[in-house]
Amino acid sequence: MQRIELPATVQTPWEQNNHVPALLATPAGVPRAAIVALHGYRGAKETIEDIVQGLADSGYVVVAPDLPLHGERALGARGSFEYPFFGDPSGVVNAFENALADIATCATYLREVLDGRARLGITGWSLGGCLTLLAMARLAGTFETGVSIVGAAKLARLLLTSSITADIRDDLISMGYDEERLEPLLRPVEATRFAPSVRNLLMIGADDDDIVPGRLVRETFVAFEHPSNELVMLNGAGHYPALLEVADVALPYLARSI
C-alpha cells in the first residue's frame, strides 16, 4: 500500500483541500478489477486501511482518497475535521459535488493504471456509503457495481436525524430549515433522483443504526428498483458492523457483478 496524490478538479478557498491524497493498493497477481473505496464522516483514508487491504488481497486494485475536508485535506489543527459551511445551507451540496469530482478523478486514474481495461467498482462506509450511492446515480456508466455500507440517500432527512450531524442540523434549524425546505436545496446531490441509473448495487445497513438510520437505508433501497440491486440488513450491528461480517456479504457480490 502506498500514498499517491491526484489532481483536484474543483478548486476551493482552502489550499490543503485542492489536491487529492489517496492510498493505492495492488494485488499480488493480475488484477480482477479496480475499486474506489471511500471512508466515513470525520474519518480519513487511513481509517479504512483494513477494507483497502482486504480488497487488494481479494484481487482488486484499490484507490482510497481523503474526501474533501478530511484527512490531509482537513482544515482543523493537526488534521482534524472542521466543517466550514456554518451559515451557508448550500455548503453540503458544495462538499458533495467536490467529492463527486474527486471520485471521477480516482476512476480516471484507475483506468490509466490498467491501460483503459479496468472494470470499475465503488464502495464506501457511512459518508462513503452515501457517496457510493451518489456516484452510482450521477456518474452513470463509470462504475459497474457498488457496495454501500451503512449509507443512504434521502439526504435532507439524514442530516436532520443522524446522531453524528447535530452541529450541522442545529445550524440548519437556526436558519429556518426543516426537511421540506431543505430537500429542494439538496436535490442536486440526492441520489434517488437518478434512480434508473443505479444497477448492480448492494446496500448493507442495520436497523439499530442511529447515525445512518436503518429505515433510511430501506427507503433508499426501495427507490432503486432494478432487480440487480440487493439489500442486506445486519442484526445488532449498529453503525459499526464487523469487517468480516461485511466481507462475507460484499466480496461474493463483487465477484458476481464485476
* Cβ atoms of 198 and 226 closer than 8 Å: yes
pLDDT exceeds 90 at position 117: no
Give the tens place of pLDDT for each residue, 124-145.
Answer: 999 999 999 999 999 988 999 9
| Residue 87: Cβ-neighbour burial (10 angstroms; 0-12, 13-18, 19+) | exposed
Tell me the whole-structure pTM to 2 decimals. 0.95
- Pick from 125, 12, 25, 4: nearest CA to 74: 12
CATH of the domain at 155: 3.40.50.1820
Give the tens place of pLDDT for each residue, 16-40.
Answer: 999 999 999 999 988 999 999 999 9
Range of the domain at 177: 2-257
Rounded (5°) CA angle 144-252-233: 95
**What number is the average pLDDT over the span 149-172?**
93
**What number is the average pLDDT over the span 234-253?**
93
HSE-CB at 188 with a 13 A cutoff on CA atoms is 11
Task: Specify the number of domains making up the chain.
Answer: 1
Give the tens place of pLDDT for each residue, 55-105.
Answer: 999 999 999 999 999 999 999 887 789 999 999 989 999 999 999 999 999
- Pick from 207, 221, 229: nearest CA to 146: 229
Report residue 189 as a C-alpha cell: 446531490
Which of 75-79, 115-119, 235-239 holds the top average pLDDT? Answer: 235-239
